[in-house]
Homo-oligomer: A and B are copies of this chain.
Amino acid sequence: MNLARVAQRLGITECRLQGLQETIIRESAWPEPRLLRFEKETSGIEAGTVIFENGEIVFGYPKIRRPLMLAAAIKRHFSDIVAVEEKMNGHNVRILSLNGEIVALTRGGFICPYSTEVARRLIPESVFEKHPHRVLCGEMVGPENPYVANDIYPTDSIDFYLFDIAEKNHRGTLGVHKTHEFAQEFGLLATAFFGEFRKESAAERIKQIVIKLGRQGREGVVMKDPENIVPPLKYTSSKTNCSDLAVAFRYYNDYALDFFVSRAVREGYQSVEWNESEEERRARALSLGESILLPLVDTIKSAQQGENIVQKVQIRVKSLQTARDFEYHLRRSGIRTIFEPPEPDDGGYLIRITKLVMSTNDKTQALLEGEMW
Q: Does A130 contact B (CB under 8 A)?
A: no
Given the known A-B contacts A67-B373, A372-B66, are A268 and B281 also in contact in the complex, defined by CB atoms under 8 Å?
no
Q: Report the bound CA distance from A77 to B257 in whole Å.
A: 29
Q: Does A370 contact B (CB under 8 A)?
A: yes
Q: Report the bound CA distance from A260 to B10 in whole Å.
A: 41
Q: Report the bound CA distance from A41 to B300 in whole Å.
A: 32
Among B68, B264, B281, contact of A373 (Cβ-Cβ < 8 Å): B68
- With CB as the reference atom, state the residue of chain B lying closest to A300: B272
Is the CB–CB distance between A370 and B288 below 8 Å? no
Q: Report the bound CA distance from A265 to B281 in whole Å.
A: 23
Copies assembled: 2
Q: Report the bound CA distance from A271 to B74 in whole Å.
A: 42
> Contact residues of A with B, CB < 8 Å?
65-69, 71-77, 233, 249, 252, 257-258, 260-262, 264-269, 271-272, 281-282, 284-290, 292-294, 296-297, 299-301, 304, 367-373
Using A65-B372, A257-B258 as known contacts, list a sample of 16 further A-B pairs with CB atoms less than 8 Å apart, ordered by residue number in A: A66-B372, A72-B369, A73-B370, A73-B371, A73-B372, A257-B260, A260-B261, A264-B292, A265-B296, A271-B297, A272-B301, A281-B294, A285-B294, A287-B289, A288-B288, A289-B289
Q: List 17 A-B contacts (CB under 8 A).
A: A65-B372, A66-B373, A67-B367, A68-B373, A72-B368, A72-B369, A233-B372, A249-B265, A252-B264, A252-B268, A257-B258, A260-B260, A264-B293, A269-B367, A281-B294, A284-B289, A286-B286
